[in-house]
Amino acid sequence: MLHAHLEQSSAKPLPVVIIGNGPSGICLSYLLSGNIPYVRRNPVHPNPILQRKLEETPEVSILDQDIEYLSEGLEGRSSSPVALLFDALMRPDTDFGGTADSVLAWAHQPDRAIPHLVLGKNLPGGAWHSIEGSMFTLSQGDWMGLPDLQFKDWLSKKKRGFRNNRATAGDIVQYYQYYVAKKGLKKNFRCGTLVTSVKKLSVDVDSCYNSQNPQTNPQVDSGSLFQVDGFLTTVSGTQPFSVYAENVVLATGTYDSPSRLGVKGEHLPFVHHTLSALEEAVKNKEIGMMSDPILIVGAGLTAADAILFAHHCNIPVIHAFRRRVNDPALIFNQLPKTMYPEYHKVHQMMKEQAIPYPGPYECYVSLPEHHIVTFTEDRKCIFCDKSGRQKIHNISMAFVLIGSNPNLTYLPNNGVDLAVDCEQPVSSKRNPIDVDPFTYESVHEKGLYAMGPLAGDNFVRFVQGGALAVASSLLKKANPNPP
Ligand SMILES: Cc1cc2nc3c(=O)[nH]c(=O)nc-3n(C[C@H](O)[C@H](O)[C@H](O)COP(=O)(O)OP(=O)(O)OC[C@H]3O[C@@H](n4cnc5c(N)ncnc54)[C@H](O)[C@@H]3O)c2cc1C
């Protein structure tokens, strides 16, 4: 039945369309499919205040309780109270190194399910599809799990385990696909759908958000609705689609548009902006141990992953970055050495192998406090150091790995009007979409929700609180007097 929504623009509006099929979209789909979290009988939570609150109305599901009250006063590694709440319910003592079981018990109540579609370009799993499968997570493996199916249980069934408590990206993406199948969510997912436009259709002429005359859609007779357009690619080709929804959840992450340096020659064909381009170039033997060095620009973890990969393949590397190696803001200076030995190794190379004092590492040169001036057509790169001196190096290829931005071209004005600062582009760290902290509904546009990095929650462990908030809000909208 739901398939019709993508094939016939005349279909009845859906209550909810989720755009993005990464961990955020998957977790929300689980909750909207009638999977309702209650507190276990006689729960023991290490936080005494939360414990007392959980004992007050154990017969009422968490989704139907006042989540603002429940999350009040919680502290932790996220600034979102609901993210801290859901995490504390699922992993009660994890920040103290404990492995206590979740205090939640899940009930399947099909009558409380809210029909929805999850649209996504690729297979379920989101950003994890574009991360090289052998890369280890930064987070503890346990924190990558979704509700009611522990990642470590799935892993041990596969007869695999963690390394230093961390998991590989390949395992994570397989677990997310397994989760969608195992939890019976597949029917809600439409993979191969690229959303190109989300428009508000509103009877409210004063609406500030791209209002259109509802007469353009004969199915809409009152109230406000969203029209979601895009392309669906299947084995039989690519078709445009249009679907109408009462609520739209933006869960498209922030990894789709790599940041650019904005320098001359950056468009040249040997200059790339993804780690996968490096893997591809090695696979296709475009570069090897005898080539001119590759240039890696950036000092984050993706740049470090690229250095490790090139090192593993004996490919010579020039590594340029703007910060000092001892800058406290550098991610390597914030990671414990014992848990992240490979990143510590890269940091050591960055420190010890800086020109003009080459150290013990062959095939690697570090250029701290340098920026790129130009790439030239004959595969040279001109750098500038902190005192303004310029130097030139031959390179075989360049990989600019300096972060990424969300691609919100499917929203009017690239979603800028929805951001905390409506004058600046949306960014997960600096300028997320402005949402109510307890519903994750846009403060600028009713019926529009945002979650995950788009709403400022950057780790899988915490994006799930956004799902709890959205599901709770949508269930309360569907039935203002819950059971
Ligand atoms: C290299 C790297 C390492 C990371 N390591 C960790 C870690 O160790 N621990 C951790 O917790 N987090 C980590 N993260 C962050 C983690 O990936 C995100 O927190 C998480 O994936 C966010 O989930 P999401 O579902 O909100 O978005 P995403 O996972 O980004 O999924 C969004 C999906 O929506 C799709 N999409 C975008 N636009 C459209 C459109 N117009 N139409 C259809 N589909 C669209 C995207 O292609 C994507 O597949 C890492 C991220 C990266 C890039």
pLDDT in tens, 319-366: 999 999 999 999 998 888 888 999 999 999 999 877 666 667 778 999
Residue 244 Cα to ligand 1 middle (Å): 25
Q: Is 20 in the pocket of ligand 1 (CB under 6 A)?
A: yes
pLDDT tens-digit profile of 269-282? Answer: 999 999 999 999 99
How far, in Å, CA of 124 to CA of 27, rounded? 11
Tally Cβ neighbours within 10 Å of residue 407: 16
CATH number at 326 reads 3.50.50.60
Q: Considering the domain boundaries, does residue 231 fall inside one?
A: no
pLDDT tens-digit profile of 364-391? Answer: 999 999 999 999 999 999 999 999 999 9
Q: Is 410 in the pocket of ligand 1 (CB under 6 A)?
A: yes
Residue 329 Cα to ligand 1 middle (Å): 23
CATH number at 145 reads 3.50.50
Domain carrying residue 105: 3-191+405-478
User: pLDDT-derived band of residue 455, with 50, 70 and 90 as boundaries?
Assistant: very high
Among 402, 430, 462, residue at a domain's last position: 402
How far, in Å, CA of 339 to CA of 341, rounded? 6
Q: Is 415 in the pocket of ligand 1 (CB under 6 A)?
A: no
Torsion angle, alpha carbons of 421, 423, 424, 426, to 10: 60
Residue 309 Cα to ligand 1 middle (Å): 21
Site to substitute for ligand 1 among 91, 232, 255, most atoms within 8 A of C-beta: 255
435 and 448 part of one domain:
yes
Total domain count, the chain: 2
Query: Any idea which residue has 């790169």 for tokens?
Result: 381
Ligand 1 atom closest to Cα of residue 119: 43
Q: Is 126 in the pocket of ligand 1 (CB under 6 A)?
A: yes
Q: Considering the domain boundaries, does residue 48 fall inside one?
A: yes
Ligand 1 atom closest to Cα of residue 20: 34
Residue 328 Cα to ligand 1 middle (Å): 26
Say what angle helices 460-478 and 81-90 make with each other, to 10 degrees: 100
376 and 466 part of one domain:
no
- Please check the confidence at residue 186 and state whether its pLDDT lies above 80: yes
In this structure, are residues 421 and 429 in contact, taking their beta carbons and an 8 Å threshold? no
Residue 453 Cα to ligand 1 middle (Å): 8
By mean pLDDT, which of 132-141, 167-176, 216-225 is the weakest?
Answer: 216-225
Q: Is 463 in the pocket of ligand 1 (CB under 6 A)?
A: yes
Q: What share of the chain is helix, strand, coil (3-state, %, to 5)?
A: 30, 25, 45
Whether the upstream peptide bond of residue 110 has omega within 30° of 0, thus cis, is no
Burial class (CB in 10 A: 0-12, 13-18, 19+), 169: buried
Ligand 1 atom closest to Cα of residue 25: 25
114 and 143 part of one domain:
yes
**pLDDT over 90 for what percent of the chain?**
80
71 and 176 part of one domain:
yes
How far, in Å, CA of 242 to CA of 231, rounded? 9
pLDDT tens-digit profile of 41-93? Answer: 988 999 999 999 999 999 999 999 999 999 999 999 999 999 999 999 999 99
Q: Is 461 in the pocket of ligand 1 (CB under 6 A)?
A: yes
Residue 220 Cα to ligand 1 middle (Å): 33
Residue 208 confidence (pLDDT): 36
340 and 315 part of one domain:
yes
Residue 482 confidence (pLDDT): 66
- Please check the confidence at residue 399 and state whether its pLDDT lies above 70: yes
- Please check the confidence at residue 211 and state whether its pLDDT lies above 60: no
